[in-house]
């Protein structure tokens, strides 16, 4: 049986007589066991113990009986009522920051966007101002979605820089200079409280390419065990999802391919010369267009030019795709992914054509035989969907469920 990516069922419960309420919830959420009988079978717990643990989940409002009616029980006897995760008991807030623009949303626990806002928010204005403003957006979004602030169980935020996932702080981020080491979690939790009056909730922070990859993989490629997303906008970054989990490396630096040296002499925003991002990002293409008199200052300007079919922009995007494709040949050889997804301002036919030209020329045939090179499915919402999913997977992980049920008094 293939479960949802990230499921911990194989490790924690099979054959165990100690399965917790959190592990039963995980079995139901993943679809591995959705009746009382199936839960008994999967955990070895008695009918009475399964009943007691499920009762706590029902009282918390986290489980409900399915609408589909009874199904045959694996243990024989009477048909059983199916159980499902009740996503109506809480909502999640998510934000995705780009250098000059941000998106925010209220999401259901199953990832549906209930209300969304996007607008100008400038990273260079610094974390205090940006996160304070996000708190105001969240207040308005909850009103728009018709949800109370005390229904919010957590907040997820995607940022365009490397993140230490232990502390939720960005580490030496080239395009977020004033944010280095800043307490994003604490400030955003306070901003949410200031603008809604609700108690503080957990805040989780991750890199934007990581969360886009996570959102896209779960939504469109749930069975893909090695998934790579490359975001090409102001900078270039990659997110890697292996067996349903984001692969971050030991310091959160995995996927930071934008600063691989490709030998050119262009100055990068990180201070080095010759980085991939300095020659093949949306910002780099905008600069080259500006040199030829085309008005372009950012990756989003290039995106608009590409959408209007501008031939100069298309030629430069294809060339950028070839340069990124050269680096991706190494990435693909190392990871042998099933899907390589191109996202961000430059994601489109010319760039993708360039990537394919170099990739299939440079990578070993065995690395690309079963590789799909595709563009984003969720588009500009990928980061929001990934940020929301990160929060839900964190809060409903078996190891956290017991503590949260106790806090609810059930
Ligand atoms: Zn660089």
Residues 30, 71, single domain; the answer is yes
Distance (Å, rounded) from C-alpha 324 to C-alpha 30? 36
Ligand 1 centroid to 273 CA: how many Å? 7
Q: Which of 57, 45, 52, 56 is nearest to 84 (CA)?
A: 57
Ligand 1 centroid to 123 CA: how many Å? 18
Ligand 1 centroid to 283 CA: how many Å? 12
Ligand 1 centroid to 173 CA: how many Å? 10
The alpha carbon dihedral of 142, 66, 220, 306 has a sign of negative
What pLDDT, on a 0 to 100 scale, did the predictor assign at position 12? Answer: 45
Ligand 1 centroid to 326 CA: how many Å? 17
Ligand 1 centroid to 277 CA: how many Å? 6
Q: Are 257 and 276 in contact (CB under 8 A)?
A: yes
Residues 228, 348, single domain; the answer is yes
Which residue in this structure is represented by tokens 């990230």?
6
What CATH number does residue 135 fall under?
A: 3.30.420.40
Residues 184, 274, single domain; the answer is no
Residues 79, 130, single domain; the answer is no
What pLDDT, on a 0 to 100 scale, did the predictor assign at position 75? Answer: 64
Strand duo 203-207 + 152-159: pairing: parallel
Ligand 1 centroid to 230 CA: how many Å? 16
Residues 363, 282, single domain; the answer is yes
Residues 286, 374, single domain; the answer is yes
What pLDDT, on a 0 to 100 scale, did the predictor assign at position 9? Answer: 41
Domain count, the chain: 3
Ligand 1 centroid to 387 CA: how many Å? 26
Question: For the chain, how far is it from start to end, CA to CA, in angstroms?
Answer: 32
**Does 216 reside within a domain?**
no
Residues 64, 188, single domain; the answer is no
Domain C-terminal end among 55, 87, 119: 87
Q: How many CA atoms lie within 13 A of 133 on its CB side?
A: 18
Q: Are 234 and 160 in contact (CB under 8 A)?
A: yes
Distance (Å, rounded) from C-alpha 216 to C-alpha 385? 8
Ligand 1 centroid to 389 CA: how many Å? 30
Q: Which of 315, 317, 363, 309 is nearest to 340 (CA)?
A: 363
Q: Looking at residue 71, what DSSP letter applies?
A: B
Ligand 1 centroid to 236 CA: how many Å? 9
Give all strands (DSSP E) within 133-270, no chain letters.
152-159, 163-164, 169-170, 203-207, 226-232, 236-242, 245-246
**Does 261 reside within a domain?**
yes
Ligand 1 centroid to 175 CA: how many Å? 10
Measure Cα distances from 217 to 61, 116, 209, 335, 408 in Å. 28, 21, 12, 16, 32
Ligand 1 centroid to 375 CA: how many Å? 24
Residues 104, 201, single domain; the answer is yes
Distance (Å, rounded) from C-alpha 241 to C-alpha 225? 7
Q: Which of 23, 88, 70 is nearest to 399 (CA)?
A: 23
Residues 186, 313, single domain; the answer is no
Residues with Cβ–ion distance below 5 A, ligand 1: 259, 268, 270, 272, 275
Ligand 1 centroid to 240 CA: how many Å? 20
Q: Which residues of the chain have pLDDT under 70?
A: 1-17, 69, 73-78
What pLDDT, on a 0 to 100 scale, did the predictor assign at position 73? Answer: 66
Ligand 1 centroid to 337 CA: how many Å? 25
Ligand 1 centroid to 6 CA: how many Å? 32
Residue 396 structural domain: 89-210+383-408
**Does 1 reside within a domain?**
no
**64 contacts: CB under 8 Å, gap ≥ 6:** 58, 83, 84, 86
Ligand 1 centroid to 272 CA: how many Å? 5
What CATH number does residue 41 fall under?
A: 1.10.10.10
What pLDDT, on a 0 to 100 scale, did the predictor assign at position 11? Answer: 44
Residues 131, 160, single domain; the answer is yes
Decide: pTM greater than 0.85: yes
Ligand 1 centroid to 209 CA: how many Å? 16
Ligand 1 centroid to 276 CA: how many Å? 7
Measure Cα distances from 63 to 126, 295, 341 in Å. 41, 55, 35
What pLDDT, on a 0 to 100 scale, did the predictor assign at position 74? Answer: 66
Ligand 1 centroid to 210 CA: how many Å? 19
**Does 3 reside within a domain?**
no
* Cβ-defined contacts of 239-244 (< 8 Å, 24+): 239/207, 239/209, 239/210, 239/211, 239/212, 239/213, 239/214, 240/210, 240/213, 240/335, 240/337, 241/5, 241/213, 241/214, 241/217, 242/335, 243/5, 244/4, 244/5, 244/6, 244/7, 244/217, 244/218
Ligand 1 centroid to 206 CA: how many Å? 20
């Amino acid at each position: 049986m293939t479960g949802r990516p990230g499921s911990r069922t194989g490790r924690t419960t099979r054959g165990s007589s100690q399965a917790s309420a959190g592990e039963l919830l995980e079995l139901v959420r993943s679809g591995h066991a959705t009746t009382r009988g199936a839960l008994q079978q999967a955990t070895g717990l008695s009918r009475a113990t399964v009943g007691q643990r499920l009762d706590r989940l029902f009282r918390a409002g986290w489980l409900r009986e399915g609408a589909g009616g009874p199904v045959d029980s694996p243990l024989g006897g009477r048909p059983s009522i199916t159980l499902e995760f009740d996503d109506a008991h809480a909502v999640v807030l998510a934000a995705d920051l780009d250098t000059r623009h941000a998106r925010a949303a209220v999401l259901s626990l199953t990832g549906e966007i209930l209300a969304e806002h996007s607008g100008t928010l400038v990273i260079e204005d610094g974390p205090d101002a940006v996160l304070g403003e996000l708190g105001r957006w969240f207040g308005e979004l909850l009103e728009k979605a018709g949800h109370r602030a005390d229904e919010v169980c957590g907040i997820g935020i995607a940022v365009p820089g490397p993140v230490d996932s232990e502390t939720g702080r960005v580490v030496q981020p080239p395009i977020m200079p004033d944010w280095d080491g800043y307490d994003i979690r604490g400030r955003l939790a306070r901003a949410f409280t200031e603008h809604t009056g609700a108690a503080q909730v957990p805040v989780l922070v991750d890199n934007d390419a990581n969360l886009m990859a996570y959102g896209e993989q779960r939504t469109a490629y749930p069975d893909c065990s090695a998934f790579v997303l490359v975001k090409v906008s102001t900078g270039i970054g990659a997110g890697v999802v292996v067996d349903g989990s984001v692969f971050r490396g030991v310091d959160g630096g995995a996927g930071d391919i934008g600063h691989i040296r490709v030998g050119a002499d262009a100055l990068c925003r990180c201070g080095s010369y010759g980085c991939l991002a300095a020659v093949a990002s949306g910002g780099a293409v905008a600069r080259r267009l500006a040199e030829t008199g085309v008005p372009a200052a950012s990756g989003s300007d290039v995106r608009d030019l590409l959408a209007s079919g501008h031939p100069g922009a298309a030629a430069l995007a294809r060339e950028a795709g070839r340069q990124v494709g050269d680096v991706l040949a190494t990435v693909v050889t190392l990871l042998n992914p099933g899907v390589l997804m191109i996202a961000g301002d430059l994601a489109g036919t010319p760039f993708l054509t360039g990537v394919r030209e170099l990739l299939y020329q440079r990578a070993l045939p065995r690395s690309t035989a079963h590789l799909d090179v595709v563009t984003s499915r969720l588009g500009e919402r990928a980061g929001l969907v990934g940020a929301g999913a990160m929060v839900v997977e964190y809060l409903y992980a078996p190891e956290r469920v017991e503590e949260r049920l106790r806090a609810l008094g059930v």
